[in-house]
């Protein structure tokens, strides 16, 4: 039996990077998936990679609350009630505490924090009767400060504690929902690979001497989506090649 047989997963930011790799792995392990993204062309191409019989695409801006119910409805109509949500959609800009612009600050927080909050809120409403796993794709930037990622640091730090609060709430309410966060180090994704001049410096930050792969991060999402992690909630799972162990 595959580890996700019978699971229906929603994965935001699923057109590329961690989201696409996670969707591919979930389907290989028996799940049906709904991927969402602002990039409609990329989402359709991703379906060809994943397999259209086991996946669907919904265009979504995660920062807009009215975008969430159509996603859960699409999952239910095509595959059944969702029991896994991977809040993966995110953006990143380089900025610092002295020069941050308000428009940039709000844009990053709207996607990287508000989008996660809304996903958690709506997932709880849909999963509280039948149970599920909410997985928030966070970052090592939710654990340590990085001088040129000011707004991203703020968003990811908030996601780390938002996750714990939601996990405790679900447990106290008796909802069979687990909520956990994943904290990747730098890995090969379009977001990181867009800066090839930084690759050597980034590799040196990791004691293992390399960047991670999207599949290595997806493997952690697989664990948290599966029943193997049935006693894990409110926890942070670090996959960073030793970066934060130093």
Q: For residue range 12-22, what is the model confidence (pLDDT) as tens digits?
A: 999 999 999 99
DSSP 48-109: HHH-TTSEEEEE--TTSGGGHHHHHHHHHHHTSS--EEEE-------B-TTT--HHHHHHHH
Cα 44-47-51 angle, rounded to 5 deg: 155
CA distances from 46 to 20, 43, 57, 94 (A): 7, 5, 9, 28
Q: Choose the catalytic residue: 150, 152, 186, 243.
A: 152
For the cut 80, the answer to whether the pLDDT of residue 64 exceeds it is yes
Count the Cβ atoms, other than its own, within 10 Å of residue 181.
Answer: 28
Q: For residue range 153-209, what is the model confidence (pLDDT) as tens digits?
A: 999 999 999 999 999 999 999 999 999 999 999 998 887 888 888 889 899 999 999
Catalytic status, residue 152: yes
Mean pLDDT of 112-135: 98
Q: For residue range 126-160, what is the model confidence (pLDDT) as tens digits?
A: 999 999 999 999 999 999 999 999 999 999 999 99
Task: List, in sequence order, every residue forming a beta bridge with 11; answer none if it has no partner.
Answer: 35, 86
Enumerate domains of the chain plus CATH numbers: 8-239 (3.40.50.720)
Q: In the chain, pLDDT over 70 holds for what percent of residues?
A: 100
Scanning the chain, the segments in alpha helix (DSSP H) are 17-28, 40-50, 68-78, 102-109, 115-127, 150-173, 190-193, 199-204, 214-225
For the cut 80, the answer to whether the pLDDT of residue 1 exceeds it is no
CA distances from 190 to 62, 76, 183 (A): 19, 30, 17
């Amino acid at each position: 039996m595959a580890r996700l047989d019978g699971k229906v997963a929603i994965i935001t930011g699923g057109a590329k990077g961690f989201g696409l790799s996670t969707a591919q792995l979930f389907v290989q392990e028996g799940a049906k998936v709904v991927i969402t993204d602002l990039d409609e062309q990329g989402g359709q191409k991703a379906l060809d990679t994943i397999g259209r019989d086991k996946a669907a695409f919904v265009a979504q801006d995660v920062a807009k609350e009215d975008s969430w119910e159509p996603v859960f409805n699409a999952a239910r109509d095509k595959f059944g009630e969702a029991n896994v949500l991977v809040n993966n959609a995110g953006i990143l800009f380089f900025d610092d505490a002295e020069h941050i612009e308000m428009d940039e600050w709000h844009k990053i927080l709207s996607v990287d924090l508000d989008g996660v909050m809304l996903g958690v809120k709506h997932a709880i409403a849909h999963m509280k009767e039948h149970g599920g796993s909410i997985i928030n794709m966070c970052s090592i930037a939710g654990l340590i400060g990085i001088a040129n990622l000011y707004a991203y640091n703020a968003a990811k730090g908030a996601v780390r504690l938002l996750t714990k609060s939601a996990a405790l709430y679900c447990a106290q309410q008796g909802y069979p929902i687990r909520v956990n966060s994943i904290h990747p180090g730098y890995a090969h994704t379009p977001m990181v690979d867009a800066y090839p001049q930084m690759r050597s410096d980034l590799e040196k930050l990791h004691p293992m001497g390399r960047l991670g792969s999207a599949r290595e991060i997806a493997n952690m999402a697989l664990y948290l989506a599966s029943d193997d992690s049935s006693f894990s909630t409110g926890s942070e799972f670090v996959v960073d090649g030793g970066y934060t162990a130093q």
